[in-house]
C-alpha cells in the first residue's frame, strides 16, 4: 500500500485516459462506417493508427526528454483530444487517416510518460505488483469505455465529447502531483533479429497477436454492428472479448509456469481458431457473447505468453530490447492485417473477419508445433514467473517489468529453435 500511495495520481490518470481510449477505439470505426465508407477504408484507418503507435514509440521519448513528463503529458493529451473532436466534425476520409495516425502517436507517448513515471516510483519489491495493477487498470478501464459509448448514438457528438472529457480530466491528477518527474528516457531499442534467434515461438506469437487482436480492435465493432439490434449490443460484444482476456490471462499464465510455454501457446492458437469459427457461426444468436468471451480468453493472452517465452531465454540486459521488439512486432501485425481483412470484408461480408482469424490461428499453430520439436535451451523449472501484460503499452513498461533488469537468465549467445 505504501508503494501504491506514491503512484496514486498516475494510476488515476491512467484510468481516466484509458476510459477515453477504450471509447475512441470502438467509436471511430463505427463512425467511419456510419459515414458510408467501406470496410477497406476502415482497415486503412486502423493501420494508420497502429503506424502512428509505432512512430510514437520510437520518436516521442526524445520529446519527453527535452520538455519533461508533465508538459509532454499535457501536450499529447491535447493532441489526442483535438484529433478525436475533429473526427467528429470532419467526414472526409483523408482527414480521418491523418487524425487516426495522430491518435496513435499521442497514445503511445502517453503510455510512455505514465510507464516511465511508474518505474521511477517503484522499488525492486513493488515493481511486479505495480505492473500487475497497471495492467488490470488498463484492461478494466478500456472495458468501462465500451459501456460509455452508449451515452448517445454513434452518429451524434455526445459519445465523442464524453471521450474527450475523460482524456482532458486525465491531465488533472498528473498536473497536480507533487512527485518529481523521472529522469529522461533512453531511446527505444528494437532488435527483431535477436528476438527471432532467442525464440522463434515468441516471434510468431507476437506477430500473431498483432494480426488477430489488432484487427479485432480495428474491425470487431464493424463486424458486431452488422448483426446488432442496438448500439449497446456492439459494446457488449467488445466488452465480452476484453473481459475474457482479462479474466483468463492469469490462470493461463500460471499453467504456463508449470509446463512448456510453447505448448500453452499452441493450445491458445487452437482455442483461438475454434473460438473464432464459433463467433462466425453464431452470428445472430444470443450465445454469441459466450463465443466472443472465449475468443478473447484465447487470443488476448497470446501477447503476454510471447513476452514470457522471450523472457525465459533472454538475459536481464537483453529484456528491454527483446520486450520492445515483441511489442513493436505486435504493432507491425496490427498495421498490416486490417488492410487485407478490411478489403475481404468489403468484398465477402463481415463474417470473413472471424473465419480469417480462425485460419491465421491454425497457420501459426502449425508453425509453433514445428518449433516444439526443436531443442529447448532451459528446463521448465528455470522459466521466469509469468507476469500479466497488455499489448496496448509503450516500451517504457519493460523497465517496470520485474523480469527485466534483475533477471539474469543464462541464455548467453545460444540460439534456440523455439
* Count of alpha carbons within 13 angstroms of residue 298, beta-carbon side: 27
pLDDT of 206? 92
d(CA 217, CA 143): 12
pLDDT of 312? 83
pLDDT of 382? 73
d(CA 32, CA 45): 9
| Helix (H/G/I), strand (E/B), else coil: 376 | coil
d(CA 258, CA 239): 30
Q: What is the mean pLDDT of each run of 10 residues along the chain (418 residues)?
A: 64 90 89 86 91 89 83 91 88 88 92 81 68 82 88 89 93 76 64 86 92 91 83 89 88 86 92 95 86 94 88 75 86 91 90 95 94 72 74 70 56 46
SS3 readout for 361-414: HHHHHHHHHHHHCCCCCCCHHHCCCCCCCCCCCCCCHHHHCCCCCCCCCCCCCC
In the chain, domain spans: 2-400
d(CA 164, CA 170): 10
**CATH superfamily placement of domain 2-400:** MFS general substrate transporter like domains (1.20.1250.20)
> What is this structure's pTM?
0.86
Q: What share of the chain is helix, strand, coil (3-state, %, to 5)?
A: 75, 0, 25
pLDDT of 324? 84
Q: Say if residues 290 and 303 touch (Cβ distance below 8 Å).
A: no
- The DSSP call for residue 413 is T
pLDDT of 290? 94
- The DSSP call for residue 389 is -
Amino acid at each position: 500500500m505504501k508503494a501504491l500511495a506514491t503512484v496514486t495520481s498516475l494510476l488515476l490518470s491512467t484510468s481516466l485516459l484509458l476510459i477515453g481510449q477504450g471509447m475512441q477505439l470502438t467509436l471511430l470505426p463505427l463512425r467511419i462506417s456510419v459515414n458510408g465508407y467501406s470496410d477497406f477504408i476502415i482497415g486503412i484507418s486502423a493501420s494508420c493508427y497502429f503506424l502512428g503507435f509505432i512512430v510514437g514509440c520510437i520518436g516521442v521519448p526524445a520529446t519527453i526528454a527535452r520538455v519533461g513528463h508533465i508538459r509532454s503529458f499535457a501536450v499529447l493529451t491535447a493532441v489526442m483530444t483535438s484529433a478525436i473532436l475533429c473526427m467528429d466534425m470532419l467526414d472526409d476520409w483523408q482527414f480521418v487517416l491523418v487524425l487516426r495516425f495522430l491518435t496513435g502517436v499521442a497514445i503511445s507517448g502517453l503510455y510512455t510518460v505514465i510507464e516511465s513515471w511508474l518505474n521511477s516510483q517503484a522499488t525492486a519489491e513493488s515493481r511486479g505488483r505495480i505492473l500487475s495493477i497497471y495492467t488490470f487498470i488498463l484492461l478494466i478501464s478500456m472495458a468501462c469505455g465500451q459501456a460509455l459509448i452508449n451515452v448517445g448514438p454513434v452518429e451524434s457528438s455526445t459519445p465523442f465529447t464524453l471521450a474527450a472529457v475523460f482524456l482532458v480530466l486525465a491531465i488533472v491528477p498528473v498536473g497536480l502531483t507533487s512527485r518529481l518527474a523521472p529522469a529522461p528516457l533512453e531511446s527505444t531499442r528494437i532488435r527483431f533479429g535477436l528476438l527471432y534467434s532467442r525464440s522463434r515461438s515468441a516471434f510468431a506469437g507476437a506477430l500473431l497477436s498483432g494480426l488477430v487482436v489488432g484487427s479485432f480492435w480495428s474491425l470487431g465493432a464493424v463486424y458486431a454492428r452488422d448483426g446488432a439490434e442496438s448500439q449497446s449490443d456492439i459494446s457488449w460484444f467488445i466488452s465480452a472479448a476484453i473481459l475474457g482476456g482479462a479474466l483468463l490471462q492469469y490462470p493461463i499464465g500460471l499453467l504456463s509456469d508449470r509446463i512448456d510455454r510453447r505448448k500453452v501457446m499452441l493450445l491458445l492458437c487452437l482455442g483461438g481458431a475454434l473460438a473464432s469459427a464459433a463467433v462466425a457461426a453464431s452470428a445472430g444468436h444470443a450465445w454469441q457473447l459466450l463465443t466472443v468471451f472465449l475468443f478473447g480468453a484465447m487470443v488476448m493472452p497470446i501477447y503476454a505468453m510471447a513476452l514470457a517465452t522471450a523472457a525465459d531465454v533472454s538475459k536481464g540486459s537483453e529484456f528491454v530490447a527483446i520486450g520492445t521488439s515483441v511489442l513493436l512486432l505486435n504493432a507491425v501485425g496490427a498495421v498490416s492485417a486490417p488492410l487485407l481483412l478490411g478489403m475481404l470484408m468489403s468484398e465477402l461480408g463481415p463474417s470473413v473477419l472471424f473465419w480469417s482469424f480462425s485460419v491465421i490461428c491454425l497457420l501459426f499453430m502449425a508453425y509453433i508445433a514445428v518449433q516444439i520439436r526443436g531443442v529447448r535451451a532451459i528446463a521448465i523449472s528455470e522459466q521466469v514467473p509469468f507476469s500479466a501484460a497488455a499489448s496496448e503499452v509503450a516500451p517504457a513498461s519493460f523497465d517496470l517489468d520485474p523480469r527485466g533488469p534483475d533477471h539474469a537468465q543464462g541464455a548467453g549467445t545460444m540460439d534456440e529453435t523455439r
